Amino acid sequence: MKKQKSKKLRKANGKRRVRPIARRGLMLVLSSPSGAGKTTLSRLLLDADKSIELSISVTTRPRRPGEVGGRHYHFIGADRFAHMIRGGDLLEWAEVFGHRYGTPRAPVERALAAGKDVLFDIDWQGANKLRRKVGSDLVTIFVLPPSAPELGRRLKSRAQDSEPVIRRRMAEAGREMSHWREYDYVVINYDLERAFAELRAIVAAERLKRARQTGLATFVRELQKRL
């Protein structure tokens, strides 16, 4: 008898599905100086969490070796970029190293409407512009390298830039780091595994914020009815 009851319980538990509590999608910004690890961390997060969608920026800069249009960036001309600015088709845009980068509005709005979180790989300028537009829906994280020598080593190991460009990126890194106080969280990338664990903890905590869980009031009312 006990064995039969246990079997029924397992069967019932196996069929039972927990309905997730409705919540607002969040807009997650990940910024860092070149070489600090934000691109690798972004890729790991997207692979591990299918509820997060990447916002693919448009840029006027040339495509680098190994980059794929529509996957890493949408590579467009300066005229089209200017047209998007005039038409209000960009949530934010900035100029970095002589090239323009921007966030297309329509894909982000579609993802959020579908209940997805959106990840942004943008700099401090873009983060500030987004904050002014979306407010509390934005979560910002700044990734720091463990040391200046390590940052230089990582830039050289990519074998994508010349020595003059690497020196310029190192100088620019100092200026970018001065904006760390403007971010909600700071992750120091001593070790990729540790940094990724910290990033996932931030995402989990932000999703659980009471104000972001729009379906929580209904859930609690239904729970109270059954007490």
Please tell me the total count of domains within the chain: 1
* Sequence-separated (6 or more) residues with CB below 8 Å from residue 100: 59, 60, 61, 78, 81, 93, 94
Mean per-residue pLDDT for 218-223?
92
Of 139, 131, 150, 136, the closest CA to residue 188 belongs to: 150
Mean per-residue pLDDT for 186-203?
96
Residue 78 lies in a domain: yes
Lowest mean pLDDT among 54-63, 78-87, 210-219: 210-219
Of 25, 215, 204, the closest CA to residue 107 belongs to: 25
Question: Domain of 66: which CATH number?
Answer: 3.40.50.300
Residue 140 lies in a domain: yes
pLDDT of residue 12: 47
Residue 6 lies in a domain: no
Checking if the pLDDT of 4 tops 70, the result is: no
State the Cα–Cα distance between residues 57 and 103, nearest whole angstrom: 5
| CB 213 within 8 Å of CB 33 | no
pLDDT of residue 23: 84
State the Cα–Cα distance between residues 93 and 75, nearest whole angstrom: 14
Residue 76: which region, alpha, beta or left (left: phi > 0; alpha: psi -120 to 50)?
beta
pLDDT of residue 9: 45
Greater model confidence, 187 or 157: 187
Residue 16 lies in a domain: no
Residue 8 lies in a domain: no
What does pTM read for this prediction? 0.78
Per residue in 124-177, pLDDT (tens digit) is 888 998 998 887 889 999 999 888 888 778 777 766 667 777 778 787 888 888
Of 144, 122, 140, 134, the closest CA to residue 188 belongs to: 144
Lowest mean pLDDT among 6-15, 43-52, 137-146: 6-15
Residue 200 lies in a domain: yes
Checking if the pLDDT of 216 tops 60, the result is: yes
Confidence label for 113 from pLDDT (cuts 50, 70 and 90): confident
Residue 51 lies in a domain: yes
Residue 215 lies in a domain: no
Domain that holds residue 80: 24-208
